[in-house]
């Protein structure tokens, strides 16, 4: 997701934390003067493209996604996650560091930032799918309501941010700066649409020791949505202009994936900071 998607997931989760988890999260964030999860939700996107010499971590670029071909049925670790450097394996690794009360506080803060970010990314359909080596749609050029974002619009960026920003009227400033108040307002709208039954069902795969299985399930859900809808509804012509028809399909999918990610992130954090099982 782009900066608004990650902030919205963080905001939905923040409002669903137990008092114990809210306190644990606040204590970790306070190390860097942060007050809420949305402030750190996009941090992993700021380090991947920087060289090591500038404090960057280029080896983390692949941690944000898993390329499962749409011709396949489901995630396969050996085939889809070389070196275990994909989101499905990194997310449970980071959850383990976060839940380890004996790990150094700065390590746990870094793990918290990764968990907030990766629970978001694993729910973006194109972060768990690709077709014909298109890198999750990054090489599929198109326009959206006639806009090519100065040549930067593609199928991946449309799903990361194009649809949310347009449908929710969110504006990205320079250097990816966002309006946090606008993100919180949109998160409230989405949060209010989640029924208690949905929340309980979505969070039911968050169990002690079930972290890896849950990550696989969430990636497989994303992959299924990419097969049936993201690519399934895509016009065959190259460089197509997508508008009302595609957006009317995509926006409900984006909304439910942000809602599910928020609910599940809260469940993960409540478990991490909860009484040990």
67 lies in the site for ligand ADE, by CB under 6 A:
yes
64 lies in the site for Zn ion, by CB under 5 A:
yes
Binding mask 12-41 for ligand ADE (x = CB under 6 A): ------------------------------
Q: Closest Cα to residue 168, out of 144, 156, 192, 184?
A: 184
Name the minimum Å distance from CB 175 to Zn ion: 16
65 lies in the site for ligand ADE, by CB under 6 A:
yes
By CB under 6 A, what part of segment 112-151 binds ligand ADE? 126-127, 130, 135-136, 138
154 lies in the site for ligand ADE, by CB under 6 A:
no
The whole-angstrom separation of Cα 255 and Cα 270 is 23
Which partner from the list ligand ADE, Zn ion, none does 161 bind, CB cut-off 5 to 8 Å by kind? none
Residue 243: C-alpha distances to residues 162, 186, 231 (Å): 11, 22, 15
Which partner from the list ligand ADE, Zn ion, none does 135 bind, CB cut-off 5 to 8 Å by kind? ligand ADE
Which partner from the list Zn ion, ligand ADE, none does 80 bind, CB cut-off 5 to 8 Å by kind? none
- Contact (CB, 8 A) for 113 and 44: yes
Which partner from the list Zn ion, ligand ADE, none does 121 bind, CB cut-off 5 to 8 Å by kind? Zn ion
SS3 of 93-125: the string is: HHHHHHHCCCCCHHHHHHHHHHHHHHHHHHCCH
Other C-beta atoms within 10 Å of 237: how many?
A: 8
Nearer Cβ to ligand ADE (16/227): 227
Residue with tokens 């988890």: 21
121 lies in the site for Zn ion, by CB under 5 A:
yes
Residues contacting ligand ADE: total by CB under 6 A: 9
The whole-angstrom separation of Cα 222 and Cα 204 is 17
The whole-angstrom separation of Cα 190 and Cα 53 is 40
Name the minimum Å distance from CB 136 to ligand ADE: 2
Which partner from the list Zn ion, ligand ADE, none does 259 bind, CB cut-off 5 to 8 Å by kind? none
In angstroms, how far is the first alpha carbon of the chain from the final one?
33
């Amino acid at each position: 997701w782009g900066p608004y998607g990650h902030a919205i997931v963080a905001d939905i989760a923040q409002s669903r934390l137990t008092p114990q988890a809210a306190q644990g999260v606040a204590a970790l964030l306070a190390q860097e003067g942060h007050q809420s999860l949305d402030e750190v939700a996009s941090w992993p996107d700021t380090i991947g493209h920087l060289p090591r010499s500038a404090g960057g971590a280029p080896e983390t670029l692949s941690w944000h996604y898993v390329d499962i071909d749409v011709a396949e049925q489901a995630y396969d670790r050996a085939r889809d996650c070389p070196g275990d450097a994909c989101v499905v394996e990194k997310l449970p690794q980071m959850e383990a560091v976060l839940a380890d009360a004996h790990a150094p506080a700065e390590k746990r803060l870094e793990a918290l930032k990764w968990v907030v970010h990766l629970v978001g990314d694993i729910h973006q359909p194109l972060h768990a799918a690709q077709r014909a080596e298109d890198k999750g749609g990054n090489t599929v050029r198109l326009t959206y309501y006639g806009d090519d974002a100065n040549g930067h619009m593609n199928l991946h960026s449309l799903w990361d941010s194009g649809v949310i920003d347009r449908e929710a009227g969110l504006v990205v400033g320079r250097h990816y700066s966002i309006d946090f108040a606008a993100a919180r307002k949109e998160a409230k709208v989405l949060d209010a649409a989640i029924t208690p039954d949905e929340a309980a069902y979505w969070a039911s795969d968050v169990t002690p020791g079930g972290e890896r299985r849950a990550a696989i399930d969430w990636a497989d859900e994303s992959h299924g949505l990419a097969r049936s809808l993201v690519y399934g509804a895509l016009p065959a012509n190259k460089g197509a202009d997508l508008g009302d028809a595609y957006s009317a399909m995509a926006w409900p999918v984006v909304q439910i994936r942000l809602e599910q990610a928020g609910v599940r992130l809260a469940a993960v954090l409540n478990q991490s900071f909860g009484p040990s099982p």
